[in-house]
Amino acid sequence: MLELMFCSFFTILPDFLYRRFGQGKRVGREITLFSVWYELRWGLTGCLMLTVLLVTVVFYFHPSTTNVSSFFRTVTILPQIPGRVDEVYVRSLQRVSAGEPLFRVEDSTQRTAVEAARRRITEIDAALAVARDQLVAANGSADQAVGTLEQAQDELARQLNLQARNADIVSGREIDRLQNTVNARQGAVDAAFANVQALQTQIDVLFPAQRATAEAALAQAQAELDKTIVTAGVDGTVEQFQLQVGDYVSSVLRPAGILVPTEFEEGHFVAGFGQLAGQIVKPGMLAEISCASQPFTVVPMVITAVQPVIAAGQFRPTDQLVDLQSRTAAPGTLTVRMEPLYSGQADDIPPGSACVANAYTSFHDRLQDPSLGFWTKLGMHGVDTVGLVHAIILRAQTLLLPVRSLVLSGGH
């Protein structure tokens, strides 16, 4: 409507003034409701053509979209292990810090496992103490075996010395008996020292290894026990948290609630423009947004990034070939990222607000090029000028938004 009224000032109005005052035709006589088309045919035709041209130029070089929002992420509150809730530490809409406990599930099995792992460590420590006492006893037995071996060796040496002096004094049978006694006691000494070495190996190697295994089992059991306490992963606000003691929670069947992180990309907006704007929308382009959550406010923005792909074209490999006819009928939009032209201007807009946006093509820098021709400059000036029409439309929509939302739509 605004474009039609604007174009009529340059077409229908001059045509009417010429017919009325130049040709002397009178309203109600020559110019009637039935003769309007014939009398003002040039103005009506020119208005229609100029309106179509103006609308095309405005919406092509200054695209608009209603798909604008400031996204924020949420974290689902899920337990690592399923179970029934024993304790609830927070309530809905409460702000929490990272690591703060939210609730605890039933943990009797995990506590029993932790206690069993601790008892196993105590048992190994007791076995180690017994082995040390046994090592002392084994050392004593080894010393005793060495003493008896030395006694047998001395007796054998004395008898051999006597035999060497007089062969008739000591019989060969006695020498063999003493030699067997020495060998037997030598074996007892070797067994005693082997027993000492075995106990020492148990003390130095076996029991430390068993204790390390038990400590690892205790750490694992403690980790399973820690999983029963669900904590906040980030700073944020707990939402939709209606958990009660006795509820069953699971990462598959039932989450506990949602955590909205405190830190998010404040002031960053994502907009989806039509694909016809693909050659127009570029990083550095100026734009404006108006959001329902902040009425009567237009925020100047700048486009910082343009997504190089259209999301509607993505696919996931399956066991069937993709048929384009079976794809969604929506062609997809060009996703762009916008930020406020001046920091802090969009801080009052809540994340997730529904907004509309206009992007404006500007040839201001290119117009400084002296090599451009007259008609090129005139066209660029015209494109920059008609951007005012779209800016006026955005502001009119901003002013009428409360009326449309509260009055015309019944307050929905």
H, E, C per residue of 128-173: HHHHHHHHHHHHHHHHHHHHHHHHHHHHHHHHHHHHHHCCCCCCHH
Domain that holds residue 179: 108-227
Output the average pLDDT for the chain.
83
pLDDT at 126: 92
- The band of 218, judged by pLDDT with boundaries at 50, 70 and 90, is very high
Q: What is the pLDDT of residues 355-375, one digit of tens each?
A: 899 999 888 888 888 888 888
189 and 283 together in one domain: no
- Other C-beta atoms closer than 10 Å to the C-beta of 299 total 22
Is position 26 within any domain? no
306 and 368 together in one domain: yes
52: Cβ–Cβ under 8 A, 6 or more apart, which residues? none
303 and 217 together in one domain: no
Residues 103 and 245: their CA atoms lie apart, in Å, by 9
Is position 321 within any domain? no
Residue 378 amino acid letter: L
- Other C-beta atoms closer than 10 Å to the C-beta of 352 total 10
Structural contact between residues 244 and 104, judged by C-beta atoms closer than 8 angstroms = no
Question: Domain holding 376: CATH number?
Answer: 2.40.30.170
State how far the alpha carbon of 409 is from the alpha carbons of 1, 65, 377, 401, 404, in Å.
21, 21, 45, 10, 6
115 and 98 together in one domain: no
Residues 102 and 31: their CA atoms lie apart, in Å, by 80
173 and 130 together in one domain: yes
Q: What is the pLDDT of residues 8-64, one digit of tens each?
A: 766 766 777 767 777 677 776 777 776 666 667 777 788 788 778 878 888 888 898
| pLDDT(269) > 70 | yes
Is position 14 within any domain? no
Residues 351 and 288: their CA atoms lie apart, in Å, by 17
131 and 160 together in one domain: yes
Is position 158 within any domain? yes
Is position 187 within any domain? yes
- Among 180, 208, 227, the domain boundary falls at 227
| pLDDT(67) > 60 | yes
Is position 35 within any domain? no
- Among 202, 227, 252, the domain boundary falls at 227
Structure tokens at 385: 């000028």
Structure tokens at 18: 């010429």
What is the arrangement of strands in the sheet containing 236-239, beginning at the earlier edge strand? 75-77, 257-261, 236-239, 95-96
pLDDT at 408: 66
Q: What is the pLDDT of residues 151-210, one digit of tens each?
A: 777 777 776 776 666 666 666 777 777 778 878 878 888 888 888 888 888 888 988 999
Cα-Cα end-to-end distance for the chain: 26
Is position 295 within any domain? yes
Residues 74 and 102: their CA atoms lie apart, in Å, by 16
399 and 275 together in one domain: yes
| pLDDT(394) > 90 | no
Structural contact between residues 216 and 113, judged by C-beta atoms closer than 8 angstroms = no
State how far the alpha carbon of 380 is from the alpha carbons of 278, 362, 364, 365, in Å.
19, 8, 8, 11
61 and 130 together in one domain: no
**Percent of the chain whose predicted confidence (pLDDT) is above 70:** 87
Exposure class string for 252-275: b at 16+ Cβ within 10 A, else e? eeebbbbbbbeeeeebbbbbbbbe
162 and 283 together in one domain: no
66: phi then psi, degrees, rounded to nearest 5: -105, 0
Q: Count of residues for the chain?
A: 412
371 and 247 together in one domain: no
120 and 150 together in one domain: yes
Number of separate domains in the chain: 3
Is position 189 within any domain? yes
- The band of 344, judged by pLDDT with boundaries at 50, 70 and 90, is confident
Question: Domain holding 95: CATH number?
Answer: 2.40.50.100
392 and 368 together in one domain: yes
